[in-house]
Amino acid sequence: MTETVTSGAVIDTEDYRSIWMYLKELDFRQGFIDVAVYGSPVRTRYAEAGRPDKPHAILLHGTGGHWETFAPNLAALSEFFHCVAIDMVGNGFSDKPDYDYEIAVYVEHVLGVMDHFGMERANFVAMSLGAWVASTIAVHHPDRVSKVILMSPAGKEAAASNMARIRAERTKAVNEPTWDSLHAVFAHLIADEANRLPDLIGLRRAIYQRDDTRESIDHLLILQDAAVRDRNLIPEDEWKSITAPVMVVASGRDHGVYQETATSIARLIPHAEVFEMPDVRHWPHFEDPKEFNSAAVSFLTR
């Protein structure tokens, strides 16, 4: 049985999915904490699941994201780990201070979150921008890292066309936060239309309608500037220095630059393995959580 809603989307009512349906039986909490960045507090939104005495896991989203990116994964991961998923500084419903968000800013923020939750070290489950941040932490703070899962990783190379697309899409979506403009963003993140859940698009729309999002969009998109991106990229010798075990997820339908980065860093990182997911795009963990969760738990608990 299906039902057509006013947006024109068709919902499968026999196998209805939403963010909340992934969380409905999960013992978790959402909250806000203050984390110092550049010496000033950043009000930081987070979701926490799993007992604090378990090994820790930090979950990091991509550009413009929020913790609900990991809604389909928290239940499976929190059986084995104390999970904290955050809205990184400048993203989601966290504070958006008036400075550019380069990688060092995100690193300081994430390490501050770890300190708040008493995590001397943690596993990282990270995608896109989050994978760039997690990889940088693995390079410069190896004592804080146990294992790392990198999805749609960024941080090694840049494609001018991809940076221009991201800037154009996100700027349009913030300046004109309509359902259609947000749907266009997710068309590049999730391959199958059925997996672009309406409440996911609605949540991103709510973020992009905020005054602070509109006011800080240039700070958020600073890494799409070629000169800025170049000075934040991780050099090959630093990829080679990563000592933590790493699982790189290769999304078969993702943009070429992300596929190329996944392949090349897997060759550079000494203790890296590749997990192929050929039928998904930029959000493999969201688009096929059953396959991803099984592989992630196996890798992290091995």
Q: What is the CATH number of the domain that holds 144?
A: 3.40.50.1820
Q: Tell me, yes or no, whether 277 lies in a domain.
A: yes
pTM of the prediction? 0.94
- Contact criterion met (CB below 8 Å) for 241 and 214: no
- C-alpha closest to that of 206 among 186, 171, 178: 178
pLDDT at residue 8 in the model: 53
Q: Tell me, yes or no, whether 13 lies in a domain.
A: no
Distances (CA, A) of 88 to 65, 80, 124, 216: 8, 24, 14, 14
Q: Tell me, yes or no, whether 153 lies in a domain.
A: yes
pLDDT at residue 12 in the model: 67
Q: Tell me, yes or no, whether 123 lies in a domain.
A: yes
Q: Tell me, yes or no, whether 10 lies in a domain.
A: no
pLDDT at residue 265 in the model: 96
pLDDT at residue 4 in the model: 46
Distance between the two ends of the chain, CA-based, in angstroms? 41
- C-alpha closest to that of 72 among 190, 171, 237: 190
- C-alpha closest to that of 193 among 26, 61, 9, 23: 9
pLDDT at residue 119 in the model: 98
pLDDT at residue 6 in the model: 42
Domain that holds residue 80: 21-301
pLDDT at residue 172 in the model: 83
pLDDT at residue 258 in the model: 86
Number of folded domains in the chain? 1
Residue 231: which H helix or E strand, with range? helix 226-232
Q: Which residues of the chain have a pLDDT value below 70?
A: 1-12
Q: Tell me, yes or no, whether 15 lies in a domain.
A: no
- C-alpha closest to that of 269 among 243, 287, 291, 249: 243
- C-alpha closest to that of 132 among 92, 159, 102, 112: 102
**Overall residue count recorded for the chain in this entry:** 302
Burial zone of 114 (CB within 10 Å; 0-12 exposed, 13-18 middle, 19+ buried): buried
CB under 8 Å to 184, separation ≥6 — which residues? Answer: 169, 172, 173
Percent of the chain past pLDDT 70, that is, above it, reads: 96
- C-alpha closest to that of 65 among 258, 207, 226: 207
Q: Tell me, yes or no, whether 2 lies in a domain.
A: no
Q: Tell me, yes or no, whether 237 lies in a domain.
A: yes
